[in-house]
Structure 1
Amino acid sequence: MSEDAPPVENNASGDAGQAPGEVVGPPLGAAVASAARAGRAGRNLPAAIGVGVGLAALVLVTLFTSKIAFAAVIAAAMGVGIWELVRAIRPVEARPPMIPLVVGGVGTIAITYVSGPEALLLGLLLTVVAVVIWRIPDGPVGFQRDVTAAVLVATYVPFLGGFAVLLEVADDGVMRIIAFIATVACSDIGGYAAGVLAGRHPMAPTVSPKKSWEGMAGSLIACAIGGAAFLELGFDNGAWWEGVIYGLAIAVAATLGDLTESMIKRDLGVKDMSSLLPGHGGLMDRLDSLLFAAPVAYLLLTAFAPPA
């Protein structure tokens, strides 16, 4: 029985010392087992690990086997992210139209894969135009609010995510994607380790109480080391000092992405963007750092290690 199970009512043949009709909670053994399965934040740890491994496997298999398949994974992720964000926004009375946002977001990823950076901006513009046209028949009440929310969604999710496609389409796109994702992971790991071991001074207590300046220092150090290694060893025309700059920039961007989503969730009054991924929350809860870091990774890797 899970820890969220409702209390049960005993009948006349219940345990000794309990009157008929007395309301009791789940058995002690089940409660202990459920607590053991949950992480420190109340997450289901085995489920979280299983989902994480599954997502990592999907990314790695498609990345190393087919560029089109990996781009399709990005497009699907952007579609799900848009769906989650629109659903989270609607309870605060904004009504960004779902269909043109999802279709436009997925289409933006598709045309970016085919045509490059100019198509990414074109996709954003076409999505906004589609949103405006879709929203006009509903009348003027709330028009500005709904369109503004839709522009935020279109920019935050598919536009930023499109830079990952631009990383992938290069001849050495596999290495660029690995350098991008792994450096963001360095930020998470370094920040978590330093925060747990030495975190004393909150960075933004009203937005994300668990983030500390010590954790930020850990992210910067880990990303600087990881970035230096990737630029020196992973690219023929990269240098370690450029990798340090790259890593520091990724650490800042990833942290800003995390804080931005935390602020959005607090403003919306939600803990997670959805419950789609057991033990993780929503897909957007896993994409926040990556989305902000993607354009930084694309611009700096293009500058420091230009594609052949």
Structure 2
Amino acid sequence: MTDHATVAAPTSPRAGRDLPIAIGVGLGLLALVVVSLWWRKEAFIAVVALAAGVALWELAHAFRRRNVSLPLVPMLVGEVGILVSAYLSGAEALFVAFMLTAGGVVIWRVLDGMGAAALRDASIATFAVAYVPFMAGFIMLMLDQPDGVWRVGLFILLSVASDTGGYLVGVLWGRHPLAPTVSPKKSWEGLVGSLLLAGAVGGVVVWYIFESAWPLGLLLGAAAVASSTLGDLSESLLKRDLELKDMGRVLPGHGGMLDRVDSMLLSAPLVYILMLVLLPTSTVALP
């Protein structure tokens, strides 16, 4: 989620977005995710798989600018296997499925020709598989818990709160760039806004839904913001290297799918682990 800590510009109060379109698309995506999550877990898995597939396609298209050819077919097949394996069989299966997919993309690319280009392409393809479906697999591990719907719901709420709080505070009061050489629009003020809103949301949900101490929610919120910000900046570095403003155009007002989920990808492993440590299995009624 790439605009959550925006430095306000006097001539651009909306930080370069077509705000009505961005809000509409964002709410539509959120509704799709929430409805699928609370309707059937299988439907939510399909939504995550579709988003991961689009993100991989965007990466493959972006790397063509550097004459890198990623073997998209085995990557797409593997990402479905990674997500389903993680949900059905746990963390060990997630790792095994990732290794099999990485091996598959290497073999696929080598069959098209040997040499330095093949090694480069296979290495970048392995990075892409680790970056998108492997990280998304930790969301499946959350979902597999007895109260998995609530855990994934909390994870999504923390991501939305981080993005929303940072964006609003950054636009209104952002003056001090967080990482000017990487992402000039992000500000320290926006980061504070992310921490405040994500901490508040985390505290309330942990206290009310999980019936645990609200400071644990503050810790989860802070961890989500830190990892989300790292995810934003990492993708910004990648786009800068590829000389791209956005990874794609599939989401009007937001850019590409990867521009929308970049922060969530790096946040998922940390939030999953912290939830395992901090929050016992909830006894709340499942939807």
Judge same fold: TM > 0.5, yes or no. Answer: yes
Identity of aligned residues (%): 49
Q: Is residue 49 of structure 2 the alignment partner of residue 81 of structure 1?
A: no
1:91–1:260 distance in 2 versus 1, CA, 3 Å: same
The Cα of 1:251 is off from its aligned counterpart by 0.7
Aligned to 2:266, which of 270, 289, 292? 292
- Provide the residue aligned with 2:247 in structure 1: 273
RMSD: 1.8
* Higher mean displacement: 124-133 or 47-56: 47-56
Counterpart selection for 1:256 from 224, 230, 252: 230
Relative contact order, CA 8 A, sep 6+: which one is greater? 2
CA distance in 1: counterparts of 2:128 and 2:60, whole angstroms: 7
Call closer, same or farther: CA 1:291–1:266 in 2, change over 3 Å: same
The CA deviation string for residues 30-84 of structure 1, in whole angstroms up to 9 with x for no partner, is xxxxxxxx99455444443332232222111111110111111111111111111
Structure 1, unmatched stretches of 5+, are: 1-37
Alignment correspondent of 2:137 = 162
For 1:102-181, list aligned pairs within 5 A.
102-137=76-111, 138-181=113-156
Rounded to whole Å, the distance in 2 between the matches of 1:280 and 1:189 is: 13
Aligned letter for 2:265? L
Question: 1:117-153, CA deviations, whole angstroms, 9 ceiling, x for partnerless residues?
Answer: 1111111101110011101121113122112211110
CA contact (8 A) 1:47 1:279 kept: yes
Q: Distance in 2 between matches of 1:39 and 1:48?
A: 14
Do the aligned partners of residues 202 and 47 (structure 1) sit closer, same or farther apart at CA in structure 2, a change above 3 Å counting?
Answer: closer
Displacement after TM superposition at 1:199 (Å): 1.9
Does the aligned pair in 2 maintain the 1:67–1:169 contact within 8 Å? no
Deviation string, structure 1 residues 210-268 (Cα, Å, up to 9, x no partner) = 111121122122222222212111113x2212211111111101111111111111111
The structure having more radius of gyration, on CA atoms, is 1
In the alignment, structure 1 residue 241 sits paired with structure 2 residue 212: no
Mapped to 2, the partners of 1:39 and 1:194 lie a distance apart of: 12
Task: Find the aligned partners of 2:65 and 2:204 in 1 and give their Cα distance.
Answer: 45
Question: Judging changes above 3 Å, is the alpha-carbon distance between structure 1 residues 44 and 186 closer, same or farther for their aligned structure 2 residues?
Answer: closer
Aligned length: 270
Uncovered stretches (5+) of structure 2, i.e. residues with no partner: 1-11, 283-287
Structure 1 Cα separation of the partners of residues 60 and 221 of structure 2 = 32
Find the counterpart in structure 2 of residue 224 from structure 1: 199
Tell me the equivalent position of 2:190: 215
8 A contact 1:39–1:45 mirrored in 2:
no
Q: Residue in 1 aligned with 2:157?
A: 182
